[in-house]
Amino acid sequence: MQIMNVGILGAGAMGAGIAQVAASAGHDVILCDKNKNALTKASEKLQKILNRLVVKERIDDPTAKAIFGRIHFIENMTAFENCNLIIEAIIEDLNIKKSVFQALEQIVADDCIIASNTSSLSITAIASACDHPSRVLGIHFFNPAALMKLVEIIPAVQTDQKIVLQSRELIENWGKLTVLAKDTPGFIVNRVARPFYGEALRIAEEQIADYATIDWAMTELGGFRMGPFTLMDYIGNDVNYKVTCSVWEAFYYDPRYKPSFLQKEKVDAKFLGRKSGKGYYDYSADNINPEPNRDEDLGHQILERIVVMLINEAADAVYLKIATPEDVDLAMTKGVNYPKGLLAWANLIGIGECVELLDELHDYYKEDRYRCSPLLRDMEAAEKMFF
Looking at the annotation, which residues are catalytic?
Answer: 119, 140, 152, 190
Neighbours of 150 (CB within 10 A): 22
Query: How distant is the alpha carbon of residue 117 from its chain centre?
Result: 10
- Cα 24 to Cα 9, 17, 215, distances in angstroms: 18, 11, 36
CA 106/CA 129 separation, integer angstroms = 12
Report strand pairing: 136-141 vs 150-155. Answer: antiparallel
Burial 14-53 (b: 16+ CB within 10 A, else e): bbbbbbbbbbbbebbbbbbbeeeebbebbbeebeebbeeb
CA 191/CA 342 separation, integer angstroms = 13
CA 198/CA 347 separation, integer angstroms = 23
Contact (CB, 8 A) for 311 and 345: yes
Contact (CB, 8 A) for 17 and 149: no
Contact (CB, 8 A) for 194 and 202: no
CA 229/CA 238 separation, integer angstroms = 13
- Cα 86 to Cα 9, 16, 117, 167, 195, distances in angstroms: 7, 13, 10, 11, 33
Contact (CB, 8 A) for 46 and 23: no
Contact (CB, 8 A) for 78 and 36: no
266 exposure class (CB count in 10 Å sphere: 0-12, 13-18, 19+):
buried
- Please, which residues bridge with residue 71 across strands? 29
